[in-house]
Chain A
Amino acid sequence: MAEASAAALVPHGTVERGARHWWHEYTVMVRWHLASLRMWLVTLTIVQLLAGVGFVLGISLFFAHIPTTAALFVSTGVPVINLLTVGMILGPQLVADQRSNGSYEYLRSMPVSRSVAAAAWYTVCLIGGVPAMVVALGVAQLRYDLPLHVSPMIVPAVLLTSFAGTMLGYALGHAIGSPMATRMVTQLLVFVVFGFAPVLYPLSQMPRWLGAVNWWLPFRHMAVVTRAALTPGGHAAVLSAYVVLCVWAIVCAALAGRALGR
Chain B
Amino acid sequence: MTAGAVGARPRHVPQSELRSGIGYWVASLASMVRFDYGRVRQWVPMMIVIQTLMGAGMALLYGFFYPHVTAIRALYITTGAPTLALIPVGFVMLPGTVAEQKLEGTFDYIWSLPAPRSAQAASTFTLFTLFALPGSVFALLVAAWRYDVHLAFSPLLVPAVLLCALMAITVGYGMALAIPNPMVTNVITNALMFVVLLFSPIVYPASQLPAWLASVHYFLPFYNMAVVIRAGLTSGIVAHVATSFVVLAAWTAAGAAATAWVVGHRR
Pair count A-B, CB < 8 A = 70
**Of the residues B54, B64, B100, B190, contact of A180 by C-beta under 8 Å:** B100
Given A59-B65, A191-B57, A201-B64, does the pair A100, B103 have CB atoms closer than 8 Å? yes
13 A-B residue pairings within 8 Å (CB atoms): A47-B190, A50-B194, A54-B194, A62-B65, A70-B65, A100-B100, A183-B96, A184-B46, A184-B50, A187-B50, A196-B57, A196-B64, A205-B65
**Residues of chain B with a CB closer than 8 A to A43's CB:** 187
Contact code string B28-67 (vs A, CB < 8 Å = 1, else 0): 0000000000000001001000100110011011101111
Residue A9 CB within 8 A of the other chain: no
Within 8 A of A (CB), among B160-197: 183, 187, 190-191, 194
Interface bracket on B:
20 to 34
Kindly list the 4 A-B residue pairs having the minimum CB-CB distance in the complex, ordered from nearest: A195-B61, A58-B198, A100-B103, A206-B64
- Contact B190–A58 (Cβ < 8 Å): no
- Contact A188–B53 (Cβ < 8 Å): yes
Within 8 A of B (CB), among A155-207: 179-180, 183-184, 187-188, 191, 194-196, 200-201, 205-206
**Residues of chain B with a CB closer than 8 A to A196's CB:** 57, 60-61, 64
Within 8 A of B (CB), among A11-62: 40, 43, 47, 50-51, 54-55, 58-59, 61-62
How many whole Å from A215's CB to the nearest CB in chain B?
A: 16
Q: Is chain A's interface secondary structure helix, strand, loop, or mixed overall?
A: helix
- Contact A205–B50 (Cβ < 8 Å): no
How many whole Å from B172's CB to the nearest CB in chain A?
A: 16
How many whole Å from B22's CB to the nearest CB in chain A?
A: 37
Residue B199 CB within 8 A of the other chain: yes
Bound-state Cα–Cα, A55 to B199, Å:
9
Residue A261 CB within 8 A of the other chain: no
Bound-state Cα–Cα, A40 to B61, Å:
31
Bound-state Cα–Cα, A29 to B88, Å:
36
Residue A106 CB within 8 A of the other chain: no
Bound-state Cα–Cα, A201 to B50, Å:
24
**Residues of chain B with a CB closer than 8 A to A100's CB:** 100, 103-104
Interface bracket on A:
20 to 34
When C-beta atoms are compared, the residue in chain B nearest to A39 turns out to be B183
- Contact A62–B204 (Cβ < 8 Å): yes
How many whole Å from A123's CB to the nearest CB in chain B?
A: 23
Bound-state Cα–Cα, A58 to B197, Å:
9
Residue B208 CB within 8 A of the other chain: yes
**Residues of chain B with a CB closer than 8 A to A194's CB:** 61
How many whole Å from A163's CB to the nearest CB in chain B?
A: 24
Interface residues of A (CB under 8 A from B): 40, 43, 47, 50-51, 54-55, 58-59, 61-64, 67, 69-70, 97, 100-101, 179-180, 183-184, 187-188, 191, 194-196, 200-201, 205-206
Which of B65, B104, B191, B209 is most buried by chain A, counting CB atoms within 10 A of its CB?
B65
Bound-state Cα–Cα, A27 to B252, Å:
51
How many whole Å from A247's CB to the nearest CB in chain B?
A: 26
- Contact B198–A205 (Cβ < 8 Å): no
When C-beta atoms are compared, the residue in chain A nearest to B96 turns out to be A183
**Residues of chain A with a CB closer than 8 A to B53's CB:** 188, 191
Q: A55-B198, A58-B199, A100-B100 are in contact. List 19 more A-B contacts (CB 8 A).
A: A40-B183, A47-B187, A54-B199, A58-B198, A59-B65, A61-B198, A61-B201, A62-B208, A69-B67, A180-B100, A184-B50, A187-B50, A191-B54, A196-B57, A196-B61, A196-B64, A200-B65, A201-B64, A205-B67
Given A100-B103, A101-B103, does the pair A47, B191 have CB atoms closer than 8 Å? yes
When C-beta atoms are compared, the residue in chain A nearest to B69 turns out to be A205
Bound-state Cα–Cα, A179 to B97, Å:
12
**Residues of chain A with a CB closer than 8 A to B204's CB:** 61-62
Given A64-B208, A100-B103, A201-B64, does the pair A54, B57 have CB atoms closer than 8 Å? no
Bound-state Cα–Cα, A43 to B187, Å:
9
When C-beta atoms are compared, the residue in chain A nearest to B203 turns out to be A62
Given A61-B204, A101-B103, A184-B46, does the pair A70, B67 have CB atoms closer than 8 Å? yes
